[in-house]
Amino acid sequence: MRFIEPEFESYGMAVGVLVLKSDEAMEPELRHWLPSDIALHHARVNNATVVNRDTLAAMLAELPGAVQQLPDAPDYSVIAYGCTSGSMVIGSSKVRDAIQSVHGGVGVTDPFTALKAKLKSVGARRIGLLVPYEPEVAQGIIDGLHEAGLEVIASASFHESRDDQVCRISRDSVRQGLLAVGQDPNVQAVVGSCTNLRSADVLEDVVATLGKPVMSSNSALAWHIAYLCGRASENGS
């Protein structure tokens, strides 16, 4: 057998993504929005199928183990935890500490952090909110946004308690829900919360219809990952 001397090259920035075991939408949607030169490496986080504050909080203990399942070789620019309600219940600082306990100094983001950053970037404070969750979890999202200085002036929910069913909600239902919460003229931006809620195929249409910024957990997370990677590149790290 002939031996060919290989050449080795970098394939771009590396991003680790911690995806919930029940999530079927986040991976393809992040790839849809992110530049191709950002390499995504995924690991799964064990989570309960039923979404409530206790099951969301329990994921904190799972994060270090999930990070350890990411490939060792890449020099990660960012590691993202993919759960909007989980990041709000656990707290973004605790999420960051759990991830950095394995990869010290790495950039960390989550959908709640990303949504706040994206809303700030478009100058929106009064929002319309679409969530898939049961009322208890939905109210926690609203309360968390209020604590961040944002005002939810229109909201709607699909009242779904099982995370493995959220990705089954039709794209047309998502589209109609986003339009419903965005129609109020006082709404400055529309948010669809949950990484398992499919929206990549409908956001552009909703933006065109409403004439205002519309974002999902996944679109905001992809934007923030790209932003953090750009900053890392500029700093030479």
CATH code, residues 13-113+220-234 = 3.40.50.12500
Q: What pLDDT, on a 0 to 100 scale, did the predictor assign at position 179? A: 98
Residues in the chain: 237
What pLDDT does 10 receive? Answer: 72
CA 140 to chain centroid: 17
Whether 13-113+220-234 shares its CATH topology with 114-216 is answered: yes
SS3 8: coil
List, run by run, the mean pLDDT of 10-residue segments along the chain (237 residues).
89 91 96 92 95 94 98 93 95 97 96 96 97 90 93 96 93 98 97 97 97 97 94 40
How does DSSP classify residue 76? E
Strands (E), 103-180: 107-109, 126-131, 151-157
Which phi and psi angles does 178 have, rounded to 5°? -65, -40
State both tokens at 112: 């709640």
CATH topology of domain 114-216: Rossmann fold (3.40.50)
Domain parsing of the chain, residue ranges: 13-113+220-234, 114-216
Q: What is the pLDDT of residue 12?
A: 74
pLDDT at 231: 56
pLDDT of residue 14: 94
